[in-house]
Structure 1
């Protein structure tokens, strides 16, 4: 097989990667394990506190899992098109395929799936990732893809995000992803802090921590949305044009930020308006607090192996 300008033409073996990256899968499994562990001990919680802890723990786990998972998601900006396009360099052969572009905080993912998958005596099923986070060489990854002879649609979309591309979007997407990732990690730290403070409970500072969590989650959304001011080059594959829009990770992060803000406002409002009701709600044991407020008698433990001495058993005598 000969080389043409350093490109390995035709007949590469397709490389298929799972739609979910390994770090994202690990995050999902960890938080699912935590949720399952809590559900196992849930029957041991009696009364109305059971539902309180169910909502509280699962809601908190959802917020934490979402903040971490979107770091590794490629669903911040997505585009998908079905087209009839060229498949290999220096060949007139065309294939019918679904082409997907998935942009995340750390890079871009390009998928190519044949329709049907088996065409031209090959399995057309590609899912290639190109990383641009700090410390990674995006241009080097693109050069490696050229040498491996990946299909034309994959190389075409990946080339649009290279530093030397006339589109000029590499720097904007890279910086937007970097700042969005940094603010999300700050939000995760404040989420941990809010759980600790609300469990102590210190509702005032816990509510503030929730507000800051939501604020930084929204900052990450705004940081990534700054790329909307950069016009993306026209992406034409065959006779079709691929357009992008904000994906699931973007909207879920936006919803999580708003949710944290609402929870923080609710906690602070109850703290100033009805602090006793808030403490009762956070403790999750209404009966326990009522018994303490009424001054219930202390619990006395009797040990049958030892004689209990009462006031009636004591005799005091005085010799004059």
Structure 2
């Protein structure tokens, strides 16, 4: 006991307290830095264009950040419960704890926090990750958890998602997360394309790219929602039953897809119904098909030769 600093020998590594996802935090900080950089140059934009640019850029950054961030979120399918449950194998000792199940696109996260944290002369505060990426072996991670001697509630929930479990959750959630992640990356590519096209004199194609972004985002929602076709096992934890449901990442992604469809549809409709209003919002001047700004300013030529021969004053059009 002294050798392991009062930690039981079957815990060879320090236990991880529940915290924030590091990749998710990095994504949020990157997009916040982009937003802050734009806000610094915003005072340099004159007139009403300043507010149009503010709305455009912040909306676009929100959509891009959401599409990337939900890849690293475990809030797609969540469940939380307070229970009085057993803590260790081959022991009758029970603890009062808060158990959380967080299912993401690449795996599950299980949290166990004692209430209070200090019970049975131990600190009960766990945050365990089990992944099913293409290059990860979920079964091996579960076996490693058994060897470390993780608490019973963590092992119980992790076992429900193993490939050999009779619940059949692994294959459905694995495939649903895989296809949802793939379609979200396609949506992110179209989001980049829409920003490029909307910054050029091609608002129609930018609106179509934004519609495609919304469509692929909704495809990701439908792919993950396919897990509802699998009967969910009962997660019995001591005196309580954990009942998972769709989490915040699922609903925010759904809202983002609908937002992209509305914005893309508005751009396409304004392209045909009110092109001048669309150009004002996009801060674009009236342009001809060749992409050059076209201004018509009559120039009266009072040439003495014209006056001598009685020629009328001429009006010409210049393309600047």
Instruction: Tell me which residue corresponds to 1:19.
Output: 19
Q: TM-score, normalised by structure 1?
A: 0.85
Rounded Cα–Cα distance in structure 2 between residues aligned with 1:236 and 1:185:
36
Q: Distance in 1 between matches of 2:43 and 2:242?
A: 51
Q: For 1:35 and 1:135, how far apart are their aligned partners in 2?
A: 34
1:134 aligned residue: 134
Tell me which residue corresponds to 1:305: none
CA contact (8 A) 2:11 2:148 kept: no
1:28 maps to which residue? 28
**SS of corresponding position for 1:129:** strand
Asked if residue 197 in structure 1 is aligned to residue 197 in structure 2, the reply is yes
- Per mean C-alpha deviation after superposition, the further-off stretch among 159-168 and 9-18 is 9-18
Give the superposition deviation at 1:54. 0.9
Corresponding residue for residue 81 of structure 2:
81
Mapped partners of 1:285, 1:20: distance in 2: 46
Change (3 A) 1:54 1:273: same
Please tell me whether residue 206 in structure 1 is matched to residue 195 in structure 2.
Answer: no
Whole-Å separation in 1 of the counterparts to 2:238 and 2:87? 10
Quote how far apart the aligned CAs of 1:52 are.
1.1
Q: Secondary structure at the match of 2:57?
A: helix
Kindly tell me the number of residue pairs found equivalent between the two proteins. Answer: 288
In the alignment, is the contact (CA less than 8 A) between 1:14 and 1:125 conserved in 2? no
* Pairing of 1:173-252 with structure 2 (within 5 A): 173-252=173-252
In 2, distance between residues paired with 1:13 and 1:115? 23
Q: TM-score, normalised by structure 2?
A: 0.85
2:282 alignment partner, SS class: helix
Deviation at residue 88 of structure 1 after TM alignment? 0.8
1:70 corresponds to which residue?
Answer: 70
C-alpha distance in structure 2 between counterparts of 1:122 and 1:280, whole Å: 64
CA deviation string 1:246-296 (max 9, x = no partner): 00000000000000000010000000111122112211689xxxx976749
Moved over 2 A (4+): 8-14, 17-20, 291-297
For residue 165 of structure 2, give the secondary structure of its aligned residue in structure 1.
Answer: coil
Cα distance, 1:136–1:157 mapped onto 2, change above 3 Å: same
Give the direction of change, closer, same or farther, for the CA distance of 1:95–1:277 in structure 2 (3 Å limit): same
* CA distance 1:14–1:237, shift in 2 (3 Å): farther
Q: Is the 8 A contact 2:86 2:238 kept in 1?
A: yes
Counterpart check, 1:37 vs 2:37: yes
Distance 1:85 1:12 in 2: 24
CA separation of 1:20/1:237 partners in 2, compared to 1, >3 Å: closer, same or farther? same
Q: Per-residue displacement from partner, 1:138-195 (whole Å, max 9, x unpaired)? A: 0000000000001100000000000011111110000000000000000000000000
Matches of 1:82 and 1:285 in 2, distance apart?
A: 60
Query: For 1:283, what is the secondary structure of its paired residue?
Result: coil
> How far off is 1:100 after superposition?
0.1
> Contact between 1:106 and 1:178, CA under 8 Å: does it hold in 2?
yes
Where does residue 263 of structure 2 map in the other structure? 263
Q: Could you tell me which residue of structure 2 aligns to residue 50 of structure 1?
A: 50
- Give 3-state SS (helix, strand or coil) of 1:221's partner: helix
Q: Secondary structure of the equivalent of 1:135?
A: coil
CA distance in 1, matches of 2:131, 2:248: 20
